[in-house]
Every structure is written in structure tokens, then in C-alpha cells.
Amino acid sequence: MEIIMAFVCGFLFMAAIYLILSRSLLRIIIGTGLLSHGAHLLILTMGSFKGSAPPVLTEGVTDFVDPLPQALILTAIVISFGVTAFFLVLAYRAYQELKTDDMTELKGSDDIE
């Protein structure tokens, strides 16, 4: 299962990078969303899927899955949510002020002052 999940994560990353390299700001944000999904699944996969019970103490169960990656992912989910929310509002404000969401037009360079 871990082998297949490695390919799934790679696929998610590939799609995310493809979107991040696009011209529209909204597509880029969607890309970052996919990227964080990929990263979270990757952390979980690397922690391995061994164990038959969720990491909650229950009578008579000793074979828990690894709880540490889950704690890390939980933190990561919240942080990526905060960043995505911020990014969305930033894109909204940028569009409001600059009237464009096209990255080629948002180019910052010396000849534009």
C-alpha cells in the first residue's frame, strides 16, 4: 500500500506544481491546496500504515498506528489553512487594486515603476 501511496503523492505534487506555474492567481492557490494535500499524505505514508487500531487507548488493544505523524499533520493542516486563507484574501485585494489576476501582468521589473 505504501508503494502505491508514494505514487499517489508524486501525482498530487505533479498536478500542484503544474497549477502553481500557471498564469491565473486562483489556479496558483488551488495548486497550493493540492500541494498541501500531497504533503500531508506523504507524511502519513512515511509513518507507515502498520497497526490495526486508531491511537486512542481502548481496553485490550495494543497494536496502535503511529500517533506522531498524525500530530504533525494536524498542525500542518491548520497552518496551511491559515496561509491559504491569507493568500486568498491577498489575491482578492490584489485583483481589486490592480484589476488583474494574470501573473504575466503582475510582473515586477525595473522598467515598471
Touching another protein, residues 82-111 (CB under 8 A): 82-86, 88-93, 95-97, 100-104, 106-110
Instruction: Provide the CA 8 distance to its chain's centre, in angstroms.
Output: 14
What mask of x and - would describe binding to another protein in positions 44 to 73, judged by CB under 8 A? xxxxxxxxxxxxxx------xxxxx-xxxx
CB of 95 to another protein, least distance (A): 6
Contact 80, 10 (CB under 8 A): no
Cα distance between residue 50 and residue 65, in whole Å: 6
Task: Give the three cell numbers for residue 72.
Answer: 504533525
**Residue 100, SS3 per DSSP:** coil
What mask of x and - would describe binding to another protein in positions 7 to 46, judged by CB under 8 A? xxxxxxxxxxxxxxxxxxxxx-xx--xx--xx-xxx-xxx
CB of 113 to another protein, least distance (A): 12
Q: How many residues bind another protein (CB under 8 A)?
A: 90
Contact 19, 103 (CB under 8 A): no
CB of 60 to another protein, least distance (A): 14
